Every structure is written in C-alpha cells, then in structure tokens.
Chain A
Amino acid sequence: EAQVTQNPRYLITVTGKKLTVTCSQNMNHEYMSWYRQDPGLGLRQIYYSMNVEVTDKGDVPEGYKVSRKEKRNFPLILESPSPNQTSLYFCASRAWGVAYNSPLHFGNGTRLTVT
C-alpha cells in the first residue's frame, strides 16, 4: 500500500531534550516536506526536500533540522525542543517532474507536546 509513515504518533518530551520524528514513504517520491499544524494558523511548511541531499527552508524553519540521505526517508530533528514547538506535525511527499504539482500525500501526523 502506498503510504507515508510517520513515527511516533504521539510524543511528550521536556524542554531541551533532542528528538527525531521519522518519516518514510514507499512511493519513490522525489519531493518530501514537513508541515506543522496549529489552531487558527492552518498548516505551515517547515522544510522541504526536492531530492536526496537537497533540502531547503520553508516558512517556519527555526528550531528544526532535516536530512535527506535516502530518497524514502526525511526525518525531522528538534535539537533543543521548546514549548512553542508543541504542535501537530505532518510529513508529506509527492512525485516531481512529470507529475508536477501532483497532490501531496500526507502521513498520519505526529502530535508533539513539549513541557
């Protein structure tokens, strides 16, 4: 089944404790992206990657890191989480090139709470 898999679904952590949210897709998509969803703000892009070893900042990249060492994986790293990073996070992917602007496929989300 074609899917984007995020782990964990729920995560509670304390300020300053490094964490990684994993994201993996099995559709051979070139483009991957991370969004955060906050009440009243919709979804905002954190980082995106157009292919392996190619990443760039979205609208709200502060406090986050990403890496794209393999095509299928795009982990989101919070080196020193703070309470304002409490949010619902979504990983997404889509094909590039011929399927230009094809719809994003989203993972099921990771609800992060930083205390």
Chain B
Amino acid sequence: AQKVTQAQTEISVVEKEDVTLDCVYETRDTTYYLFWYKQPPSGELVFLIRRNSFDEQNEISGRYSWNFQKSTSSFNFTITASQVVDSAVYFCALSYTGTASKLTFGTGTRLQVTL
C-alpha cells in the first residue's frame, strides 16, 4: 500500500522568509514517481514537479527547490524568499508504475504568507 504523509497542516510565514514543506512517503515499489501540486485560493491544481525514484538529484526552479532523499523516504519542498502569491495549499503525491498509475495524495499543507 502507498501512503503520503504531510505532517504540517498549516504554516504561516512572513514574506521573504524561507519555508520548507515536508513530505514523507511509503511504498513497496522500487520504481515510483513523486509529485508536488499547488492549489491557490482560486482552487485549481497546478503541477509543480515530478521526480522518479531513480533520480535523487535535487532540483531548483527559481525560488523553488526540492530535496529528494530515498534513505528517509522524503521529498521536501522549499520556497526561498516567500511571497504573498505563494499562499496556497500544497500537495505531495506518489504514483507507481502499475496499470492504474493512480496518484496517492497527501492531505496537503496550507501555506499562508503575510506581509
């Protein structure tokens, strides 16, 4: 069975602070994919990143960076110099290579960035 845990329900930071959103996953598959999605207040789900289990390189995209560590089954997401527009709910998700390729989502972390 697969499981994704986002232990942080809600985080509040002041603009320009760095913030890390934690994601811990469980799977028995050796090949799997990890995702992060953003859900802004408008409600849509925006794809941010996909990482496969064979690629443990960290990734940076502008103010966003992701740290994938198989040893701790974690795929954490850091926003550097946060901005008010980063306020959203962020979901971590896991997919395996089975025929259904279902995405298993965590419960989400609500990030509130204030001035």
Q: Footprint of B on A, CB under 8 Å?
A: 31, 33, 35, 40-45, 48, 50, 56, 58-59, 88, 90, 100-109, 111
- Inter-chain CA distance A34–B45, complex, in Å, is 13
Chain A's closest residue to B52 (CB) is: A101
Q: B47's contact among A50, A101, A103, by CB below 8 Å, is which?
A: A103
Known A-B contacts A103-B35, A103-B50; the reply to A109 vs B101 at CB < 8 A is no
- Contact at B44–A43, with CB atoms within 8 Å? no
B91 at interface by CB-CB < 8 Å: yes
Q: B108's contact among A42, A44, A45, A56, by CB below 8 Å, is which?
A: A42
- Contact at A101–B97, with CB atoms within 8 Å? yes
Count of chain B residues near A, Cβ 8 A: 23
Q: Which residues of A contact B33 (CB under 8 A)?
A: 101
- Contact at B43–A108, with CB atoms within 8 Å? yes
Known A-B contacts A31-B101, A101-B97; the reply to A106 vs B45 at CB < 8 A is yes
- B29-40, CB under 8 A of A: which get 1 and which 0? 000010101000
Chain B proximity of A100: nearest CB distance (Å):
7
- Inter-chain CA distance A31–B50, complex, in Å, is 18
Q: Which residues of A contact B103 (CB under 8 A)?
A: 35, 43, 45, 104
- Contact at B105–A43, with CB atoms within 8 Å? yes
- Inter-chain CA distance A103–B37, complex, in Å, is 10
- Contact at B50–A101, with CB atoms within 8 Å? yes
Q: Which residues of B contact A107 (CB under 8 A)?
A: 44
